[in-house]
Structure 1
Amino acid sequence: MCGGRGRVVAERASGPAGVRGIDHVGVTVPDLDAATAFLVRALDAEVLYDTLRREEGPKGGAGVEARLGVPAGTAEVAIRMLRLPNGPGLELFEFRGPRQDPAALPCDLGWQHLAVYVDDLDAAAARLAGAGATLLGEPRPLPERESGPRNRFLYCRTPWGSTLELISYPDPQPYERRTARRRWRP
């Protein structure tokens, strides 16, 4: 890691851990089947498998509490892995327990939204609304460093209150003129 700046960047990109990218995102939902239906309809998600079927659960106790860092009395009711068409998996969790806060808002600490790249933002927004999402305004141009004639985004809320962003940036972005680094694009 001592070496020139280029060497540090190269080592970071291919370092000993071999980090490649996001495999899946875990999402806690109030109703596994309803959330699955929404994500299939809204985002073309595909059900891969159930890690924990409802009839096998719930699973709780000290092991679950320690492994997940959840309060005593929390139990996993059902877990399902979905896959987006060209992206990471979505692992859905349904829990029962003494504490279940509402979904995080963008102003809360921690992971606060999932962004999905789409080719046709207007069609994707209409599809989300038709599946039960609440659109938070109209599609907007991406800000200055990401701007381009057709580069836009839109936030919405899932039926259970999580924040979902639709984003599309088919045109070159201004930051690309200042660096060889590029954000990952599906």
Structure 2
Amino acid sequence: MFQHYQGLGHAAIHTKDMDESIAFYDKIGGTLSQRASIPTPEGDKLLALVAFGGITLELIQSPTKAPMTEGCIPHIAIYVDDLDAAAAEIKAAGVDTFMTLEKKVLPNLFGGLENWFFTGPSGEQIELLHML
């Protein structure tokens, strides 16, 4: 049923200062692979992908103070080979907590991607991620 899963896509981490976080991960063996930004009404949301310890970290600096009530990791991402099929299977399993009615397609972000978020029983966010 869940044959579309391909592995952990990344762990997202809120940061107060993007440059400081990139320098920190570089200092402890991480490697910056990409930087990007997404315009929001409050200002640009800064993003960076850092390879570290065999996984990818997505660093996120919001233009406004990010909520840190449960720590600084806002979601996990799971790579899928077919986003629509994976989402359909999850919905067929009874999950009705998708955060938007449709997937997002972002052709200019990190070389192009499509994603769709849903929440788990404790409010944790899970991203289905397909790189284009």
Larger Rg: 1
Q: Which has the higher contact order (CA 8 A, sep 6+)?
A: 2
**Both structures adopt the same fold (TM-score exceeding 0.5):** no
The structure with the greater share of residues assigned to strand is 2
The structure with the greater share of residues assigned to helix is 1
TM-score range, shorter chain: 0.3 to 0.5
TM-score, normalised to structure 1, is 0.32
